[in-house]
Structure formats: structure tokens, C-alpha cells
Structure 1
């Protein structure tokens, strides 16, 4: 492990165990009280100035309840049930997207005539006028890009007129151009004004309370304005995820304007939905009308097909015709049977007559011919007369002969009539059979005709029912046209929460006050975080396990050496206190030789060595200070003495012992107990000569002669010379200078103790500006 890694691990464990020193923290802040005072004054002044420019914005809110959470309504007003359990939340989210659409907000802003921003001149800060503050309203028909670079100055000229002056941002010759360049300068309210930058009307506001006569108008892009409202100040959200209540919130500096925008947004939302439903209803009516026309033509064709089918098949009513055909079939069968029976009877009569049977009467019960019946009746009557006459007269009686002649004549007549009747019956039978076969064929065709007629009738019934259904739906859809039925209910109309003003003056001042405290606190801690120098005793104690025996206050005088009579000064007391601490901490150890070193150059080794020597000598102890910093030998000069020709380098580098210790000693004026030995004029290798036997002999001789020996050595951060002196010292004092020593260099001092490179290492904090 390197020295730096060891130091970092030691410091981390030590810092974790430290307690937070609140008193020291407040002391640090109190030290910078001027910074806190200036910061508070600046921030409070900025807050007061900002409140003059920043307008307070208020929360304007409204609540609406969406209806029909689980069903939708078609154009005819019927509920279409939706079984999707997520349909309600989806519907609410969809409606929120509609409410937050830029297109809807643009329609609202356009309806409120907010394309023109009206400002009262000579009013600071600039404030947009709205509502009753306006003496007129600007109704824009069309705006061209030039309008956004044009400023209008409108002056009320009378009860019904006004004048317009225009200013253009990109004017090349003159910053102001009269509107007379494009026509008349004075107009009446309601007059259509046509300019190169747009077409608009200015109408009088009858509810105005304004007494001003001049106003400034700036046109703005309504699309950008709608986008800013939706993205920056409009907030629409669901109050409860299980409900269909939507909360609409808008931040606006003008409460009346904010309420009008939200109310207009809700109204426009309902109106747009109404137009959409109305358009759907009209489309449905149009569609149903087209279908009705088509069905009317198709229904006429089907009815013509039914009539044609009945005509071709000689049908009036299928069931009636079927029953009629069955009855006729039975009737023809009966007639056929009767005719056949009659034919048989006639044939039997004919056979009997042809056999010459003249004694038997003829049966005429089944005979239908009236002539034949007459002949048969005449024949039977004459035959009965014959039989009756045979009982009384003989066969040759003229009367009998006459009767027989009559009977023969009647027989021939009957046979002739029979022949004719039989021929007629045969014709009738054939005719009956033919007619019967026709009815049988029709009867067999009836099921097929009935099926065909049923198909045609079914098609006719379907089209009739569809026609009647569409006719009903057409009437229902027609009733929906022009009827507004919003899918929401307004719970709360737009209302302004005046307690929600943002920024609040009290809060604004409080925040400014806190910023006035936070900024200097942050600056102090940032300065500490970026600072790599030792700033106080706590920095040393936090980084080192080496004891700090004292602090040397900043020397404000030009004299760097404590003079006689200055022992009671702050600087003199610092060194006396360090002498006492040194004795106390090393009371059980014999301390005679003290090495004074530092991590880097300029930390006050020579200053400490010279003044500590004076402090020790003031207690009647004999003190010697050795100048062993060969890279920066300033000790003798600091003591105010003149360097001798010989010094330690000359003593260690001699070959014949011609230079003695007494030749090296330099008495310090006004102090008989204080002596010094300079480095000398020889250029020596400190590491080699400090480890030499001659150096050891010299140190032993000096220890016998002096009570204390202070060694002003070189810095140990980059030079190894000082380490060669460790075997001669009883204590090592490391100098650390406030706002000069680097925090990272303290690791070098910690290493002295950890690796025991010097005996009894201690730290002195030099150049302290104040005690915390």
C-alpha cells in the first residue's frame, strides 16, 4: 500500500467517526456575516422589483361528469352495450385527449377574439386588457404574416368612431406609418377594415368600464397561442380513476379571462361533439334514404314476380286451388263412374234386345237420356199391354199383330237410341278422363309451385320488413338531427381560486429570504469544497493523528523576531504556550534536540525556530539554533545577525580539525543564552554529511554544551536531507501554515508518525488569522 492509499483509508475511517459540530458551523457562518447581509439585501431587493413585473396567476378550475360510462349511443338514440371492462377508463382518457387538443383550444380562443392583444399605453408593467376593461372588441376574419410585425395604435375619436395608426418592426425609412397609406384613418364601429396585413372588424363593447382613449393592439398567432395554453397552463386530469369526473384546471393572471376560456372550452367541446353526432345522424338519414329507394324498387320487382308467377300458373290462392283441384278430381271420378255404369246398363239392354227377348221389360234406372227413357218407358208399357191382351185374344188378333209391330218398331228405335247414347257416353267418359288427368297433373305440380311461391313470398316479406324497419329508423334518425344531447354534465362551472395566486407575495419574499441565506451558505461550502489549503486547526486535526501543540497568530508587525520586552504580546504568548505544551506533552521524556521542518517551502520553519529559541532562552536555558536548510538558509538573517565565515558545512568538510565549535557560534544580541550556527559557505551533500561520524561528534558536543538545540531543517516533502537528522533529534515539530499548506501535503506529516521516521512528531499551525 502506498503512503497516499494509507492516508486516504485512515482519513476516511476517522471522518466517519466524527460528530457534526453545529457550533463550529455557525461560527463559520458568523465569520462571513457581511456576505450574508449583502446577499439578503440583494435578493430581497430583487424580489420586490420582480413583484412589480410578475403578474400573479390564479388557478381556474371546472369539473364535468361524463355520461354513459358503459354504453355508447348511435345516431338513432339506441344504447349499444359495450362489455369491455376497460371501456370506461379508455373513454375518459379519449375525452381528455379531445379536451387537450390544440384545435379545440384554437376554436375557443378564436371565439373569444383573442387574436388581438390590447394594451393600455403608458402603463407599467404592461398589462393585457380583457372583458369590461376593453372599450371595443377586435373580430379577425383573416390575418397575414405581416400582422405579427405590426402594432396598431387605436384612439377613440367619438361615441361611434376611432382612428388607427400603424407601426411596423421592419419599416425601412420611418418607424411609424399612418394607416392613411392604405385608406381612411378614421372608421366607425363595425366597419370592415381591409389592410395588407389582414381583414378585421372593430366592434363596440357596450359593457366597457374603461375611460382611456388610446390603446395599443398587437396581433398574435392564434395557433401558437393555443399551443402555449395547452402545453403550459392547461391541466386536465381524472379526479378518481374509478369515476368519470374530469377536472379542468387553467393558470391565468386574469380571472375573468381564465373563466371564459374554461367555460368556452367546455361549451366548444360539447358543440363539437354535437356537430359530429349531427353529421353522423345526417349521414345515417342519407344512407337510409338511399336504401329505402333501392328497397322500393326491389320490392316492386318482387311483387311483379309474384303476380306474373300466379298468372302463368293460373293460381289465385295455392291452398284454395289445391282444395278445388281435389274436389273436382272427386267429382270427375264420380261422373266417370256414373257414365261407365250407364254405359254398361245400355250395353246390357242392347244385348237383351238383340237376343230377341220380347217378354222382359227394360230397366231404365241408370239411363240419363230423356229420349231413350221415353222409348224404354213406351216399350215397357206396350209390352205390358201385350201381355195383358194375350190373356184375352189370340196371337193373330189384329190388335196383337199391331202391338207386336209397334214393339218391334220400338225395339229398333231403342237400339238406335242405345247406339247413339253409348257413343255419347264413350265421348263423355273420354272427356272426363282427359279433364281428370289435367287436374291430377295440376295437383301434382302444386307442391312445387307452392315452394316457388313461398320463396318469392319470403323474399317479398324480407324486403317489406326491411323497408318498414328502415322507414322507422329513418324517422328516428331524422328526430336526432338538430337535437343536442351532450355526453357530459357540468358539475362545477369555471371558478377562480384567489388563494392559489402564484407567485404569492409572502411566499416570493420568503423564498427570496431563504435564497439570500442559501446562496452564501452554498458559496461558503463550495469554497470549502474547492479549497485545497489548510484553513484552520480543525483541518489539521481531521487529517492527522499527530498532536497540535499550538497556533501562531498572524504577525501584523514588520519585525519577525520577538524583541526583549515583547514577551507579553500575542506572538510572544503563542510561543510561551507552545513551550509549555511541549514540556507537558513530553514531560516523561528528555527533550533536548528539536527538529523543525515542514512539508513544503514557506511554512515558517525559520520564523518558528528563531522565535522558539528566544522563548526557550527567556527561561534562562542555554539555547542553540542550527541552520541546516542548505536550500534556503535564512536563519542568521532572521535573527538579525551577520553570517560568519565558517559554518556547519565548513566544519563537516574540513580535513585537519582547524575549525572548532567556538568558531561556529554566533551570539544573538541582547540575549546571552541564545546562540546560532550558520550553514557555512561550503557546498555539501546534506544526506552524506548529516550521516557522517563528524556530524554525530558535533551533535554530542553541542548537547553537552546547550540545554536545547533547535534545528532549522529543509522541507521533507521533496528532499531527503532532513531524514538523516532523525537520529539526533528527540522531537520533530512540523510547521503547517494556514491558507498556504496543501491538505494533501498533510499525508507526509502523517507518514512520519505512522512509519516512525521521527521521534515524537508534533504540529504547529502558523499564521492563524483568527481562533474559531
Structure 2
């Protein structure tokens, strides 16, 4: 949980960022205006795209193609195909299917006309011309042609820099393409030049298959499929989806009729041979009866014949099954390729019917997969191997069924022979008729059965309907999906705000200079004594008595803070230093002395920068001797060092004297303490201007003699890394009672440092030493 202090700090940081941005409000206004202009131009030149959608219901077809097929062919098990929405999704977005749709709609040619800021694509009834492609290659796909109507049923064709004149309907042969240009439905209404672009339908079908066409279930594990695409011409999108669904249904019906057609072909072949055999048997019976006069037999013979006939019927049915089984075994055994296996017809064996159904289902799936895959596809190879295994199982099952039927036939033959012995007394003529009738019955029964199944299968072809149903016809949304105006303008607004804000914030983050007094306290912990604003060009560098300028008020504010921030401790000896040169030590020392002297305080300024002294130069004063002379010569008194400032009688100055060769050693001279003690007795304030502590350690030698150490930090000049020096001084107490004055501050934000009725902000940058 965040503490109140942390939350307050975050709010202050946000406030600072907002204030920095508010200063450059005009930049935000410009960038937002430019962003809106860019958004407007983008919307003007970008053709809108509309979403076209349709909903399709894929019906479950596990039990066959409707009630008619289920009742007519329930014993054949030849139409059981497990249809799933996931499988149909892949079929709907297959490249072959999409290519057929694009080809039927003649989308290999696109037509455009120039508008104010963009090109408008024409389609269908809006076409002034229609182009028929007879031949085209890669070179033709890269060309853009312009057709301009002329008089007398002629037009000009511009191909790059060349222009030709042709008649409508004339064959045009050029490198890369052969086309015929005819008049379109809107020829009379539209006489503008039309740009023509050719499209490779293979690439276009690939684009629709991969990304352009979206096919997905409405909800998970449901048979309802949603089909959608985005198109700049809504009617074209509607036509594509309509043709896609129609073509899909047509191919779906064709796929389902393949098994029935193959079964009809098989039955037709068998009927052809059975018809010949049956004619021969019937002719033999007729000839036998004509050559032999046949009389009626007695009741006993009729009974024996009845029993024999009963077993003969059973034997005939078994023979029918054996013949059908032999036909199927021969068909399966003689088929080298993976064709569909016909129905097992009268053989009521659940295992055989299940194997045949599975084999035909795999064959349907293999045909579907061949449309979108190569022969070497691992999935296709695996599917082929499954079919080979099923085919072997079918052959093995046929052999097992055949063995069982052969055993049954042998038993029936034995029973038939038993009754045949009883009727041996029947005249040979009658026995001959029975023998011939038996064969005739077998062939006639098989012929009738096959003929019935052929008619039922033919009926199924006429009753085949698509397993998909259109729930929502293709339609488009009147609101464009792209570009979306509200979103574009929203992004334009965000872009117009984020870019300048990012630049402002980035500059602030990358800036290594101190630009805020709060950074000083945050990084070092040293209290801020006061803030001095930037000195404008028309302002003097040294304030005057009774001045009401901003700078004079800020120095009076610092004068007051010296007493309050020092908590009643002595503040008579003030040490002024900084991290580096040109941070305003001398400027501050002079004006602080002037401010203190203005309230009738006796103040003395000491130039203790023994390396590059500037105090006397800034005050336009000269001295013959200074501190170094005093330290080296015991005969020189303090009175000889003091120079009047010419501004206030209470403000006096002591120069550093000649620059020594060894300033560091001079700073440790014992007479320095005597000098400061004597000045403390004679003056109310002693202000010491020293060298920067970031470059030399001179100021540290004076620390034992001082009450307050004032550290100058200059706006946008002092490096933040150099504040570590101040932090180190504060932590290890290298200087007495350190305080910071933020110098040369400018108005980078709305933060203002004020006193009483005054509010002082930051001004315009101006160099100050």
C-alpha cells in the first residue's frame, strides 16, 4: 500500500510534468492541428472497406442424406459420412474453391477512375468498359493500362508511354497480354478514362485463403459457421460470398453422389452378364418342355418335391450370397487403385458393412485432401496407408464369410440330396425340369434384387441435397471497418499530444543540469536558503539602496531566512562557495553584503579566492595590499587591508592581494583565524568569497572559522552529478551549517518562490558569473 507521502510525491511529479507541458501549449496546438490535418488527408485518400458476412449451417450427415436415403438404403450403409464444422471450414477457404469463385466472377481485372484525392474502384453495373483476358503472363500482371473513350466506337489504350487506338471488340495483342475491350453497362453514363490492372487469380486466391477470407464457428463446438471478408466494393464482397456458398454446395452434392454413381455402374455391369445367363437358362427350360411331354406327379411326389424345394430355396439364397460375395471379392481383388468399394448388397454382415463404410469415408476424405495437398503430404500418405489396411481387412473378411457360406451350402446340399433320393422315382423328365428351374430361380432372384437396388440408388441421386443451409444471406455493414473515422481522429489527438509531451519529458529526463530547486533537496538533503531569479539585460548586477526590484526583494528574503533557518545559532561569518566557477559566488557575496549593509549592519567582504579573484574587479575597486600580504607580513594591520565599497559606508571590502604560488598552504596559515576573529569584533557580518570546492579544497580550511556555509547552485549550469559533492559535504559535515542558494533560475514551470506579497518566477536565461 502506498504511503501518503509517496502519493503526494507522485501527484507533484505529475503536476510538474503538466506544468512543463502547459508552458508549450502552442506546440501542442500546432501538433494536434497537424495531426488532425493528416488524419483528414488520410481519410480522404484511403478507400473505405466494408465487412461482408454470411452465416452457414452445416447439418450433421452421420445417418445419411435425409430420411429418403435412410429408409431406402439402410441395409447398404453407403451414405454414412461424418461431417464436422471444422472440416467444412477448411473446405470453404481452400484455394481451389476460392479460385473457381474468382474465375466465375471474372475478378482477374480491376477497374479504377481518378477522383479528387483518390482512385475509385468500379465493379459490375458501374463499369464503362469490360476487358476479356485471352492470354497473360508475368509481364502483363505488372502493367497498368488506361482506356480513354473516343468517337466512332473507338478508344485509346495507353500502355506506359505509348498510346494506341483500337475499336471495341478488337483483339489487342501486346507483350505480356492479349485482351479484348468491350463496352460496359455504364458506357453511356461514364466517359472518363479508366485505369486497368490485372490480377493473378492464383495469388489472389492465396491471399483470400490465408487472410482475406475469415471462416470460423459462431460458437465453439457448433455447426454454425460465420463467413466474412473486407472489401472496398460491398457488392463484390456479396457476390464472392454468394458464389462461394453456391459452388461449395454444388461440389458437396457431387462428392456425395460419387458412391451412388459407382454402385450403379457396378450393378449395371452385373445385370448385363446376368441377363445373358438368365436368357440361356430360360431358353433351355422352354426347349426341354417342348421336347418332352410333362405330366403331373402324385401327392407324395409333391410333398417330397415341396421339401426338396424348401431346401433348394435355402440353397439358392446361399448360392446368391456366394455369387454376390464372389463378385465383391473379384471386384476388390482386381482393383489396383484405391477406388470406392461398392455396397455389400445382400450380405448381412455387420463387420463387412462397417469396414466398407469406413473405407468409403476415408476415400471421401482422401479425395477432399487431394484438392489442397500434394501426394507426398504426410497426412495423405498416412490416410492412404489406412485405406490399404482397411482394404486388406475387407478381403480377409470376405474370405471368412465365404468359408461360412460354403459350409452352409454343403449342409443344404446334403439335405437336398436326401430328398432327391426320395423322388428318384419321379420321371427323369420332371427331375430335369426341376434342375433347370433351380438354376433359373437363382439367376432370376439375383437379377431382380440387383434391378431393385439400381432403381433405389438412382432415386437417391435425384433426392441429394446439400448438407449446408444459408441462415443469413451475404450482406455488408454500412459502416466501414477501415478506416474508422473516430479511431483515426482519436489516434491523431493522442499522437498530437504524446509526441510533444514525449519530447518535453525526454529533454527533461536527458538534461543533466539542475533546473529545479526541489532537485537539490531531493538529491542532497541540504536546505535551500533562497532562489535568485535570472538577471535581465536592463537590470544592474549590484542592487542599490531602497531598490524595489525583484532581485533586491529576493536578497531581502534570503537575509530573513538566514536568521530563521539557522535556528537562533550565530550567523556572523558567512562562507560563500560552489561546485565550479561561474555559478555566481562573487555576485551573491556582493549583493548579500549590500542587502545586509542596507539595514545599518557593518559588513566586510573578504576575497579568499586566492586562485582567480574577481571580487574587486566586479566592484570596480582597487587595493594595494591584501590578505596574502597580511599573512606574510606581520607589520601590516587589518586597517590597512580594508577598502571602502563606495556604495555604503557600512560595506567594506578586503582584497586577496597578490596571487600566491601555493594557495593551498596559505589557506592553512594561523593568522587567518586571527584575521577573522578581529573582523568579527569590528563587524556585524563577515562574508568570505572562496574558491569552488568542486575544484579545490580551499574552502574546507576556512570551515572552522565560519557559522554558515552558503553553497551556490546555478540553474541549467550546475551538473546534477556535481551535487554529490554537496551531498558528501552535508553528510560528513565538511562545512559548517551548509545551505543552498539556487541562482539564475528561469521560469520553466509555474513554480514560484515568493515572500510576502511578491511572487518571483524564473526569467529568461542570461549568463552571470
- Match 1:743 to one of 720, 738, 758: 720
* Secondary structure in structure 1 of the residue aligned to 2:100: helix
Q: 1:768 Cα deviation (Å)?
A: 1.3
2:162 corresponds to: 176
User: Would the alpha carbon gap of residues 265 and 627 (structure 1) be closer, same or farther in structure 2, given more than 3 Å must change?
Assistant: farther
**Aligned residue for 2:136?**
143
Task: Report how far residue 288 of structure 1 moved.
Answer: 6.0
- Counterpart Cα distance in 2 of 1:528 and 1:578: 28
Tell me what 1:564 maps to.
544
8 Å Cα contact 1:148-1:218 kept in structure 2:
yes
For residues 404-447 of structure 1, give each alpha carbon's deviation from its aligned partner in whole angstroms, at most 9, with x where no partner exists: xxxxxxxxxxxxxxxxxxxxxxxxxxxxxxxxxxxxxxxxxx98
Q: Do the aligned partners of residues 553 and 300 (structure 1) sit closer, same or farther apart at CA in structure 2, a change above 3 Å counting?
A: farther
State how 1:463-478 maps to structure 2 within 5 Å.
475-478=455-458
Counterpart of 1:528 (choices 499, 503, 508) is: 508
Matched, 1:666 2:659: no
Matched, 1:34 2:32: no
- Which of 592, 595, 618 in structure 2 is aligned with 1:612? 592
- Report the Cα distance in structure 2 between the residues aligned to 1:647 and 1:575, rounded to whole angstroms: 28
> Are positions 1:450 and 2:410 aligned together?
no
Q: 1:597 to 1:96 in 2, by over 3 A?
A: farther
Distance 2:44 2:184 in 1: 30
Pair 579,177 (structure 1): closer, same or farther in 2 beyond 3 Å: same
Deviates more, 1:672-681 or 1:277-286: 277-286
Aligned-residue Cα RMSD (Å) equals 4.3
TM-score, normalisation: structure 1: 0.68
Residue 153 (structure 1) aligns with? 146
Given the alignment, which residue of 689, 692, 697 partners 1:720? 697
For residues 691 and 82 of structure 1, the distance between their equivalents in structure 2, rounded to whole angstroms, comes to 113
Q: Distance in 1 between matches of 2:719 and 2:249?
A: 73
Question: Which residue of 1 is the match for residue 553 of structure 2?
Answer: 573
CA distance in structure 2 between the aligned counterparts of 1:98 and 1:519, rounded to whole angstroms? 48
Partner residue, 1:187: 168
- The one of 603, 627, 641 aligned to 2:583: 603
Cα distance, 1:288–1:539 mapped onto 2, change above 3 Å: farther
Q: Is the counterpart of residue 221 in structure 1 residue 200 in structure 2?
A: yes
In the other structure, the counterpart of 1:420 is none
1:499 partner SS: coil
What is the match of residue 98 of structure 2? 105
1:561 match: secondary structure: coil
**Could you list the per-position Cα deviations for residues 189-211 of structure 1 after superposition, in whole angstroms to 9, with x for gaps in the alignment?**
xx655544234444544477742
- Aligned 8 A contact 2:149 2:156 in 1: no
How far is the alpha carbon of 1:53 from its aligned partner?
A: 0.5
* CA–CA distance in structure 1, aligned partners of residues 489 and 115 of structure 2: 28
Q: 1:625 aligns with which of 605, 615, 619?
A: 605
Q: Is the 8 A contact 1:14 1:542 kept in 2?
A: no
* 1:144 CA drift (Å): 0.9
What is the CA deviation profile of residues 663-717 of structure 1, one whole-angstrom value per residue up to 9, with x for unaligned ones? 4333322222223333332435454433342222222222222221222223333
What secondary structure, in the 3-state scheme, does the structure 1 residue paired with 2:9 have? Answer: coil
The answer for the alignment partner of 2:59 in structure 1 is 67
Cross-structure match for 1:165: 157
* Counterpart residue number, 2:429: none
CA separation in 2, counterparts of 1:741 and 1:666? 33
Is contact 1:560-1:638 (8 Å) kept? no
Tell me if the contact between 1:561 and 1:639 (Cα under 8 Å) persists in the aligned partners: no
Deviation at 1:133, TM superposition (A): 1.3
Which residue number corresponds to residue 111 of structure 2? Answer: 118
Higher CA-based Rg:
1
Gaps of 5+ in 1: 1-11, 169-174, 180-184, 304-318, 325-445
CA distance in 2, matches of 1:636, 1:300: 145
Q: Deviations over 1:377-430 (max 9, x none)?
A: xxxxxxxxxxxxxxxxxxxxxxxxxxxxxxxxxxxxxxxxxxxxxxxxxxxxxx
Q: What is the Cα deviation at residue 136 of structure 1?
A: 3.1
Q: Identify the match of residue 48 of structure 1 among 40, 43, 67.
A: 40
Partner of residue 328, structure 2: none
How many Å apart are 1:152 and its aligned residue?
A: 2.4
- Is contact 1:649–1:684 with CA below 8 Å preserved after alignment? no
**2:494 counterpart (507, 510, 514):** 514
Pair 1:244 & 2:223 matched: yes
Tell me the distance in 2 between the aligned counterparts of 1:473 and 1:729. 123
- Matched residue pairs, number? 606
Instruction: Assess, with a 3 A threshold, how the Cα gap between structure 1 residues 575 and 293 changes in structure 2: closer, same or farther.
Output: farther
